[in-house]
Every structure is written in C-alpha cells, then in structure tokens.
Chain A
C-alpha cells in the first residue's frame, strides 16, 4: 500500500491511500493516522479513491483513526470510497459515524 499526505491551507491533513486496505496494510494505516493526530493534525481526510477493496481489518483501522482524531478534538472523514467499501460501511451501519464524502475537497468543506 502506498500513501501520500498533503497538508491543506485550512489545516486539514489529507491521507491518500493506494491499494487494498486489508489485514496486511491496516496496521500501517492505523499508525500513520495516529502519528498525524499525535503531531497535532486532528482533522484528517482519508482519500479512498484508489482503494479498490476494504475488509474488516481495514474498517478497523479507519475506526481507530476516527477515535484518536475525535479524542484530540478533531474528526476523521473519508472520501471517494469504492462501491465495495460503501457496502461494508452500509452493512455495518458505520456510515452513521464514518460518513463518506464524494471527494477529499468536500470533506471539511465547511469546517
């Protein structure tokens, strides 16, 4: 899994992931988000446009990231999930807390 971090002018960090978010890659993603939040970037967008598949471990990494961002007074939002990822969020009812945005720009647009 490859990842890129961009810091936007409004203080939001955008973490763009590329590849499957599964049992193998989830721990790295979780640590990356924890490190971002630890460095004071508590508003994070995870851009999933290039993530074709997400399993339960991948969802676990996003949930862990959301928890640490909220504990630091911020939030974690996800952008451009694939159909498969949307289904995982829907079945688990996690779209209630991990609301998907169509693009990374739209997440935190009014923050």
Chain B
C-alpha cells in the first residue's frame, strides 16, 4: 500500500529555496527599501550600534536579487556590494546570526574580495532583519580590520538593535499604507457640475494630513469643504476622516448652515474627548446661477478672486471652529461666482509657509490671478509656498469658466 503524497514533501530543497527566495524578494520590494534615500531613523540606529558595540564599521543593508544595498552606514562600508560570497548573505541564509572572529581563518570568507583585498576585513558580526512576514530582508552588521571577540552581551545588543530596525520597517510600511488610504478618500473629478472646474491639493507634513478637502454633488449643484483638524500626523488625520464622513452624511440637508450645525452636534462629544477642534470652510454652489452659500467655522482663509482682478475674502466675524465648547452661530454668507471667477481656500500651512501674516493671502490672490483653470491656480500657490511647508498644506480651487457672448 503506497502512502498518500503529502503536499509539500515532494519539493526538493532547491525548489523550496527558490520559493522562499521569491517570498523574500516580494517582502523586500513591498518594504520599498532598496532604492529609498537615507533616513535619519536608520542612521540613528547605526550611530547607536557604533557607540554601544565599539566598532568603526557599521551598516544596515537590504538584500536584493544579487546585490546588498546599504540603507545606513558609518565607516568604510560601500553603498552596495555583491550578494553572493558576502558575510551578510551567509547571515541571512543560515541561522540569522553570524559571528566571524577572524575571516582569514574561515574558509568561507578567506578569499572573499573584501577580506583578501579592499578594506581587508577580519572581523564580522551580523544579525538578520525580518520583514513583517518573517522573511529575512537584510542585516545589521559591524566589522573590523582586526580579529576580535564578540561577547554574549554584544550579541544581545546587536539582536535588540535588529528588533529596533524591524520596528522602524513595520512602522514606515504602516504609515505609507495610511497615506494611501487617505489619498483614496479624496474626491475624484467633479463631472456633474457644468461650467465649472475644481481641483485640490493635499500635502501632509508627515505621512498623513490633519486637513482634508472634499466635494460632492448636492441638489442643484455641488458642495465643497476644506477643513483643518488641530495638530499634525495620525491623531489629526483620524479626526479629519471622521469630520469628512460626518459632513458627507449631512449632505442631505438643504442649507450649508444646517449641514454644519448637524455635523457640529454629531461631532461635539468626539471632539471634546479627543481634546481637539476643527476649522472649516463649507459651501454649496448653485450651478445655474453661480450663487455660493458658505459657512466659515473659524477658518478664515478663503478668497474669491474675480475675473476683473478684485478679491473678496470669504470669512465670518462670528463662526467659531467646531469643538471649542461654546455655542456658535454659523452665519451663512452668500456671494455670486461670475464667469471667470476663482474660489480658492487654503489651510494655515499655506499661511505659515508665506510668513504667517495675513498679507500672505494677497500673495495667494496675486499668484492665482489669471490662472486658466483650477488646477493651474493650485500649482501656482504650491510653487509659491515651496516644497516644504511647515504644516500640512491643503488647497481647494473652484473656477467658473468664462462666459462667451454670442
């Protein structure tokens, strides 16, 4: 009687290794570490390794198909080197930890180029780095040009540092996934609104933004929102996503004041317990007439730049931000968008990036004057601020296309 074949047992060692290598390469690619620029998060760890372990040559390297790419290094470590025959490759392919006290006495490395020639390495200690799925994606290692001993204590430190690198890897992966989710929450092209075009820009100072912009069709036109939750990073982004969802849920209300009031009421307890507040510009645009009805809840950074070059600031003297704890009455403002007029709303990252004074809005108005569409208006403001605003930078622009007389 023949035994049933168990799946997996029929694989040869070479086949299993090829499958493992594919999984490993996929993990390396998903981490996006092979071609990324140097990062202080990893440099901090190599500096720490150098001091704690007392070695001049330290590196964190990731292993590609046939090259090691150095992500962070101190001392004489090349930015990339051949995978096969290297210490690091043996460290990841064998037990995960490799200590070579004197390479000239080790037949595996005696003739390797960096032992026989180059920096003439003698000592090596390396620990494998595992990706989120346990695949060995790289190493953290120390080296010396003299033979040395490596104590149990040093092994323990190297292992802890490897765990630290792994945490950084998992964290940066999570952050880039979060950024992707956030950009998925941005609105798509506004195809339903004839005679207007809209564009937006979200540029977070960290991986995710505490601002958002949004638009969606409402009866007779479209609704637009730009909001800014207090603070930066993940806590602010969580609140921004909550506010966006609440505002969308309120889109069934006819007026802007009703939409903001119902959102404020729904969000009050959440904002209170998160000890945060949100500033907001929210408007409904009537497609046929160009009438824009808006609420300014302590935002204050919205302009209507007219086709004739004049500018009006769309602000309110009374509307407080959402969540500050005082009853606020949000007074509805109303203005007519004529042909060729441009509405532009920015977050305070733009203000801070332009010197932090109110005349920054004059610079914004000047930059967008004559822009042929909403998208180029946004590009003009973004290039005015430069690449590195000090705070999350968000811009929303809506333009009514110029009319043609017959």
Contacts and interface: CB of A to CB of B under 8 A. Distances in A.
Interface of A: 23, 30, 53, 55-57, 59-60, 63-64, 67, 83-84, 87-88, 90-94, 96-97
Contacts of A60: 230-231, 275-277
A96 B357 contact: no
Contacts of B279: 56, 91-92
Contacts of A57: 230-231
Given A60-B230, A88-B348, 19 more contacts: A53-B356, A55-B352, A56-B231, A63-B324, A84-B357, A87-B358, A91-B279, A91-B298, A91-B299, A91-B300, A91-B315, A91-B358, A92-B320, A93-B316, A93-B317, A93-B318, A94-B298, A94-B321, A97-B324
Given A91-B301, A92-B279, A92-B320, A97 B231 contact: no
A70 to B, nearest CB: 9
A23 B348 CA distance: 15
Given A91-B298, A93-B320, A63 B231 contact: no
- Secondary structure call for the B interface: loop
A7 B356 CA distance: 34
Interface of B: 228, 230-232, 275-277, 279, 298-301, 315-321, 324-326, 348, 352, 356-358, 391
Given A60-B276, A97-B326, A87 B357 contact: yes
Contacts of B317: 93
Contacts of B358: 87, 91
Given A60-B231, A92-B298, A93-B316, A87 B324 contact: no
Contacts of A23: 231-232
- Secondary structure call for the A interface: helix
Given A56-B228, A57-B231, A94 B357 contact: no
Which 6 residue pairs are nearest across A and B when measured between Cβ atoms? A91-B300, A92-B298, A56-B230, A60-B230, A57-B231, A84-B356
B357 A83 contact: yes
16 contacts: A53-B356, A56-B230, A57-B231, A59-B230, A63-B324, A83-B357, A88-B348, A91-B279, A91-B298, A91-B299, A91-B300, A92-B321, A93-B318, A94-B298, A94-B324, A97-B324
B58 to A, nearest CB: 30
Contacts of B319: 93
A62 B301 CA distance: 22
Nearest to A61: B275
Contacts of B356: 53, 84, 87
A55 B391 contact: yes
Contacts of B391: 55
B29 to A, nearest CB: 34
Nearest to A89: B298
Given A56-B230, A91-B298, A63 B357 contact: no
A54 to B, nearest CB: 10
Nearest to A83: B357
Given A60-B277, A63-B277, A63-B325, A94 B320 contact: yes
A56 B275 CA distance: 12
Nearest to B325: A67
Contacts of A84: 356-357
B325 A92 contact: no
A67 B326 CA distance: 9
A88 B320 CA distance: 12
Nearest to B276: A60
Given A59-B230, A84-B357, A90 B326 contact: no
A93 B258 CA distance: 20
A56 B320 contact: no
B392 to A, nearest CB: 10
A37 to B, nearest CB: 15
